[in-house]
């Protein structure tokens, strides 16, 4: 299909063409490009927890507590409620369209090809930048552990990113290579290892909670809200981005056993576990240490344990937890990106090499290699501080589209089987959209500028390649 031969009306219809839900679901049944349904409820739940509980909980308190004081506990609850609104929408739409691609696929079924492509671009940006930023921190925590255990650490030149005293971040490359090797081996193996890592880091956090509660002092909770509700809200905005792993669960839609039931359960259970862990850690931390002492503590949890026990072993424990956490998050984020590329390639919006599946492992091997190289280069050579907010922008746009998609799909296809339905419809999805839009407006202006550049490049690719090679453009059925 050529852009030159289209009138403005027909061009508009082409850009808004939707992929039938029945076609999406049927694509899993046999044939080239099939992924294997090998992930159960426990593995899926651990996938969500692994993608959400990252390094944030190990460092977030040092930024959030000075803003909210002991009421940071309320900030975690507010952030959890905000995330829950989106999670409920994800649960419904994932049980209705149980395929790979997450919010990209959901947008394709509800809002049309152009919106879906933009959402897919946002997700690819979100996953690539966040994976790279996460991988950068691995070398730093690894060095801290080596220093505490042996007194030796790697030179900054090969363990720090450019701009932080380094030239080439070797540990980041090693981390990405290990994650890629696991992903290539198979989805079952990857999610099993991730589940083990998640149990380890939850164990580290549980041990922190137990020790911190042993030194709990109710006087540390006074005054409970020293900076009022404004401080609580500011801290909640910062904390919210610790919940962005929700999207990663739905990228596994095509590899989950009994997806209409398992997907919504996995999303909701993982969110409950994450929120409970965050609230317990926050409450025990502010009870064990005066809130005014958190400012400037780069390793707040480790400092609290050191003060309680009088020993250096807490630093080793927390570094180990952070190392395991970074590995787990990087693994899940890379998994999510490869599945989104797979879905977009199958729809013809990206080259076919992204959908090639190994006949033995049933994983997109070529796709995984490309993702690993791209993320490793970013993590090893490029300072990512300026790009960090782009992760938030991409995530919030994806969340908004999913919530709006629930409303559209209820109106346009009420007949579709749904394994789960959002309660209090349409108030929950509308509230989710409003919360996401509000948080988008709080992002700095340089984020908008960088995001505009990314979307401009994505549009050049879309109109130069994707528009003409779309499966729907070549005769596939559209709604």
**Maximum distance among all Cα pairs of the chain, rounded to whole angstroms:** 76
Rounded CA-CA distance 406/91 in Å is 10
**Ranges of each domain in the chain:** 37-469
Phi/psi-derived region of residue 477, left when phi > 0, alpha when psi is between -120 and 50, beta in every other case:
beta
User: CA torsion 407→409→410→413, rounded to 10°?
Assistant: 160
So what's the pLDDT on residue 32?
43
Residue 299 and residue 25 in contact, taking contact as beta carbons nearer than 8 Å:
no
With 80 as the cut, is the pLDDT of residue 209 above it? yes
Report pTM. 0.77
Average pLDDT over residues 284-298: 79
So what's the pLDDT on residue 383?
60
User: What residues form DSSP beta bridges with 39?
Assistant: 256
Model confidence over 438-463: pLDDT tens digits? 878 877 787 788 888 888 999 999 98
Q: Secondary structure of the chain: what % helix, strand, coil (to 5)?
A: 75, 0, 25
With 70 as the cut, is the pLDDT of residue 322 above it? yes
Rounded CA-CA distance 403/367 in Å is 29
Rounded CA-CA distance 477/240 in Å is 39
Average pLDDT over residues 77-97: 83
With 70 as the cut, is the pLDDT of residue 327 above it? yes
CATH superfamily of 37-469: Amino acid/polyamine transporter I (1.20.1740.10)
Alpha helix stretches (DSSP H) within 112-186 = 113-150, 156-159, 170-185
So what's the pLDDT on residue 407?
92
- DSSP 3-state assignment of 33? coil
Model confidence over 332-356: pLDDT tens digits? 888 888 888 888 888 889 998 888 8
Rounded CA-CA distance 357/336 in Å is 16
So what's the pLDDT on residue 479?
46
What radius of gyration, in Å, describes the C-alpha atoms of the chain? Answer: 22
So what's the pLDDT on residue 26?
67
Rounded CA-CA distance 121/133 in Å is 18
So what's the pLDDT on residue 457?
92
**pLDDT band at residue 430 under the 50/70/90 scheme:** very high
Of 68, 103, 65, nearest to 86 by C-alpha is 103
User: What residues form DSSP beta bridges with 256?
Assistant: 39
DSSP string across 415-476? TS--S---TTTTHHHHHHHHHHHHHHHTS-HHHHHHHHHHHHHHHHHIIIIIHHH-TTTTT-
**pLDDT band at residue 467 under the 50/70/90 scheme:** confident
Alpha helix stretches (DSSP H) within 53-112 = 56-68, 72-96, 103-110
Question: What are the Cα distances from residue 228, in Å, to 7, 67, 324?
Answer: 57, 9, 36
Classify the C-alpha dihedral 61-65-68-72 as positive or negative.
Answer: positive
For residue 3, what are the contacts with CB-CB under 8 A and spacing of at least 6?
A: 11, 463, 467
Rounded CA-CA distance 317/324 in Å is 11
């Amino acid at each position: 299909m050529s852009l030159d031969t289209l009138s403005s009306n027909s061009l508009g219809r082409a850009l808004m063409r939707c992929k039938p839900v029945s076609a999406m679901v049927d694509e899993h049944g046999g044939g080239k490009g099939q992924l294997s349904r090998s992930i159960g409820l426990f593995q899926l739940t651990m996938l969500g927890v692994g993608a959400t509980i990252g390094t944030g909980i190990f460092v977030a308190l040092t930024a959030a507590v000075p803003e909210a004081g002991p009421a940071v506990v309320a900030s975690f609850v507010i952030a959890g409620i905000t995330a829950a609104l989106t999670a409920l929408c994800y649960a419904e739409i994932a049980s209705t369209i149980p395929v790979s691609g997450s919010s990209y696929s959901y947008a394709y079924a509800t809002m049309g090809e152009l919106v879906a492509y933009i959402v897919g671009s946002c997700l690819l940006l979100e996953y690539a930048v966040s994976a790279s930023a996460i991988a950068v921190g691995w070398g730093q925590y690894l060095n801290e552990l080596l220093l505490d255990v042996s007194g030796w650490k790697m030179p900054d030149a090969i363990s720090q990113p450019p701009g932080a005293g380094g030239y080439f971040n070797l540990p980041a490359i090693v981390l990405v290579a290990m994650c890629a090797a696991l992903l290539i081996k198979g989805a079952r193996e990857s999610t099993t290892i991730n589940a083990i890592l998640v149990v380890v880091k939850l164990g580290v956090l549980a041990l922190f909670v137990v020790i911190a509660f042993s030194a709990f002092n109710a006087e540390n909770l006074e005054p409970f809200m020293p900076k009022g509700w404004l401080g609580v809200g500011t801290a909640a905005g910062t904390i919210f981005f610790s919940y962005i792993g929700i999207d990663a669960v739905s990228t596994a839609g095509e590899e989950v056993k009994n997806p209409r039931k398992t997907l919504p359960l996995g999303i909701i259970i993982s969110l409950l576990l994450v929120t409970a862990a965050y609230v317990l850690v926050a409450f025990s931390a502010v009870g064990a240490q005066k809130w005014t002492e958190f400012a400037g503590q780069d390793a707040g949890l480790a400092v609290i344990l050191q003060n309680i026990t009088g020993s250096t072993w807490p630093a080793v424990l927390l570094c180990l937890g952070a190392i395991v956490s970074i590995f787990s998050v990087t693994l899940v984020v890379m998994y999510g990106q490869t599945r989104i590329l797979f879905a977009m390639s199958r729809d013809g919006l990206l080259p076919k090499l992204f959908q090639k599946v190994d006949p033995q492992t049933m994983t997109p091997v070529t796709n995984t290699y490309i993702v690993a190289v791209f993320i490793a280069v970013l993590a090893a050579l490029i300072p990512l501080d300026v790009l960090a907010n782009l992760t938030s922008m991409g995530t919030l746009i994806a969340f908004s589209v999913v919530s709006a998609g629930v409303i559209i799909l209820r109106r346009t296809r009420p007949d579709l089987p749904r394994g789960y339905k959002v309660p209090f419809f349409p108030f929950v999805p509308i509230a989710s959209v409003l919360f996401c839009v509000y948080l988008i407006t709080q992002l700095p202006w340089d984020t908008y500028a960088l995001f505009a550049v990314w979307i401009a490049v994505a549009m050049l690719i879309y109109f130069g390649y994707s528009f003409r090679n779309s499966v729907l453009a070549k005769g596939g059925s559209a709604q």
